Amino acid sequence: MNDVKRKSWGGMASAVLCSACALWLSVGTALAQPKGEKTFQVVATDTKGIETEVHGVIFYWEEKISETAFVPHELKEVPVKRGTATVKIKFDAIKTIDVKPSGNGTPPAVSITLNDGKAGEFTLAIAGSFKGQSDFGEVELPAVELKRIAFK
């Protein structure tokens, strides 16, 4: 009878452990993907006129903190300069970004049109890239090599 009790307790312990693991995995997945986090789709046109559809787009740059260490930054906004002010324009509000080449290694000038029709002239605060997924894999588009970004 002791063998029977051990087998039934062993089976019950395995079931409880499996349930706990399943719960832990589902909670971990839920925490890794916050609810309501919006992803953005764009059509980016580069300086050669080639269009690329990008899903889950972010504005990306790496901040150098030492000779061998960098801190990655991933934003869902575009940091731009207007005079001496830095303005962070959220992707939610943007309809299009037209990029004007600077030609001298400085961040390019941009014309941003908002969804409500307002437009403004700025300079990118950081010479970053637009990163995301294309149908062919991960894509990184340096802002200085773009002509236009149209949000869908």
pLDDT digits (tens, 9 = 90+) for 52-92: 999 999 999 999 899 999 999 999 999 999 999 999 999 99
pLDDT at 21 over 90: no
Both 25 and 92 in one domain: the answer is no
Number of domains in the chain: 2
- Is the same domain home to 80 and 126? yes
How crowded is the C-beta side of 77, counted as CA atoms within 13 Å?
Answer: 8
Question: Strands, DSSP E only, in the chain?
Answer: 41-46, 51-64, 70-75, 77-82, 85-90, 94-100, 109-114, 119-124, 129-134, 137-142, 146-151
Structural domain boundaries, residue 20: 1-35
User: Is the model's pLDDT at 22 over the cut of 50?
Assistant: no
For range 88-107, the mean pLDDT? 91
Same domain membership, residue 74 and residue 145: yes
pLDDT > 60? residue 24? no
Q: Are residues 46 and 90 in the same domain?
A: yes
Closest CA to 99 of 65, 142, 56: 142
pLDDT score for 103: 74
Q: Are residues 57 and 123 in the same domain?
A: yes
The confidence band for 28, taking pLDDT boundaries of 50, 70 and 90, is very low
* More confident position, 23 or 129: 129
The larger pLDDT score, comparing residue 45 to residue 5, is at 45
pLDDT at 33: 43
**46, 152, 35: which is closest to 92 by C-alpha?**
152
* Tokens describing residue 38: 């919006």
Q: How confident is the model at residue 121 (pLDDT cuts 50, 70, 90)?
A: very high
